[in-house]
Amino acid sequence: MPRSVYFSQRYRPEQNLLEDLLIESMKIMGHDVFYIPRKIVKQDFILNEDVISSFDASFLIEMFVESVDGFEGDGDLMTKFGLETRDQVTLVCSRRRWNSLIGRHGYTNDSVRPREGDLIYVPFSGGLFEIKFVEDKSPFFQLGGSGDTKGTIPTFKLTCELFEYSGQEIDTGIAEVDLIQVGHTQGSRALLDFDGDVHDLGETLTIELPSGILGEAELLQYEHTTNGSIATFGTLTFNDGEFHTLTVGAELTGQTSGTTSTVTAVIDLNDGDAALFVNDDLTQNSSFDIIGNDYIDFSESNPFGDPS
């Protein structure tokens, strides 16, 4: 028997009412989180992955935590590379709220939905999560469809996993998030010669290599030593999308302070006695090289490094 003609599942006011109730429930039972869109600086079109990416904006929005019993996923695993934490969390956000707070205001990917690879910072747990999958068909047309999903499916369900930092540029304006780059990036270090005042800590520097190529980097740390003024930079990104390193003679200009400086020496990541400065307290590359040479032959006659 056909459905009754006196009841319609495509009544738009009812669809709007359902969406309003969901938004109100998220404002009451949900949590404020920061949505951090990913900006792809350079993309590998063959492997379809980002070679260089950055996170330079954040948007406050309320979301409902669906995994109320705790984190999901594989949890803490002991692997051959050490302890890995693979916590997951499922978040639900309103389609209308996401579009009004994020989608219409500077979202770099020009998308109509959250994108995989974007980050979400959850302040109440102090966790930074990466979106792994976006389910945009749940709940599945509770009040029917209308040609598009707007209003008929009022929410996005985001499956997120704990973020693993791998050299991205992070400058969101959230101190807890930006410190991830400072504490985990390998960065670059150089000896600088200033024309006047020094750069402001945390500002973005415009880099002009002697070859004329322009790029940017964030000033993460700054220190004075007997050898000169040493600056530590974050990930280097250049306008041509290629990989370049700092070279002697590169000109640096602070985008906030306007201060200019010149690179007089590049400090290698090295823990050997011949190093001018130790770039990282945990660096052991020279130590491994010295110890390895005692029992592995890396000479030209033994290019595969078989035990001697």
Tell me the mean pLDDT in the region 292-305.
64
What is the C-alpha to C-alpha distance for residues 116 and 136, in angstroms, rounded to an integer?
A: 12
Query: For the segment 37-77, what is each residue's pLDDT rounded down to a tens digit?
Result: 888 776 777 777 776 778 888 899 999 888 766 666 565 66
According to the model, what pLDDT value does residue 246 have? Answer: 86
Q: How far apart are the first and last CA of the chain?
A: 84
CA dist., res. 304 & res. 308, Å (int) = 11
Greatest Cα pair distance in the chain = 90
The pLDDT of residue 277: 46
CB burial of residue 194 (10 Å; 0-12, 13-18, 19+): middle
Q: 142-155, pLDDT tens digit by residue?
A: 666 555 545 577 88
Q: 116 with 129: CB under 8 angstroms?
A: no
pLDDT tens per residue, range 205-264:
899 998 888 988 888 877 777 666 788 887 787 887 777 888 888 999 888 888 888 888
Contact assessment for residue 147 and residue 56, using Cβ atoms and an 8 Å cutoff: no
Hey, which residues does 265 pair with through a beta bridge? 191
pLDDT of residue 106: 57
Q: How many residues are there in the chain?
A: 308
Residue 222 · residue 232 · CB < 8 Å: yes
Write down the pLDDT at residue 244: 82
pLDDT tens digits for 152-190?
778 889 999 888 887 777 878 888 888 777 666 666 788
Q: What is the mean pLDDT of residues 95-115?
A: 74
pLDDT: is 3 or 168 the higher one? 168
* Contact present, 20 and 26 (Cβ < 8 Å): no
Q: Which residues contact 264 (CB under 8 A, 6 or more apart)?
A: 190, 191, 192, 193, 228, 248
Non-local (6+) Cβ contacts of 127 within 8 A are 87, 89, 121, 162
Return the pLDDT at 66.
82
Residues 6 or more apart whose Cβ sits within 8 Å of residue 213: 238, 239, 240, 244
Beta strands in 80-176 (DSSP E): 82-94, 119-122, 127-135, 155-162, 169-170
Q: How far, CA to CA in Å, does 22 sit from each of 33, 58, 95, 150, 272?
A: 17, 23, 10, 14, 60
What does the pLDDT read at residue 5?
67
Q: Please tell me whether residue 279 adopts helix, strand or coil conformation.
A: coil
- Looking at residue 7, its pLDDT comes to 61
What's the gap between Cα 269 and its chain centre? 23
Query: What domains are there in the chain, each with its CATH number?
Result: 12-180 (no CATH), 186-267 (2.40.30)
Q: Band the pLDDT of 33: cuts 50, 70, 90.
A: very high
Instruction: Tell me what the mean pLDDT of segment 27-46 comes to.
Output: 83
Cα torsion 176, 181, 184, 188: sign: negative
Percent of the chain with pLDDT over 90: 7
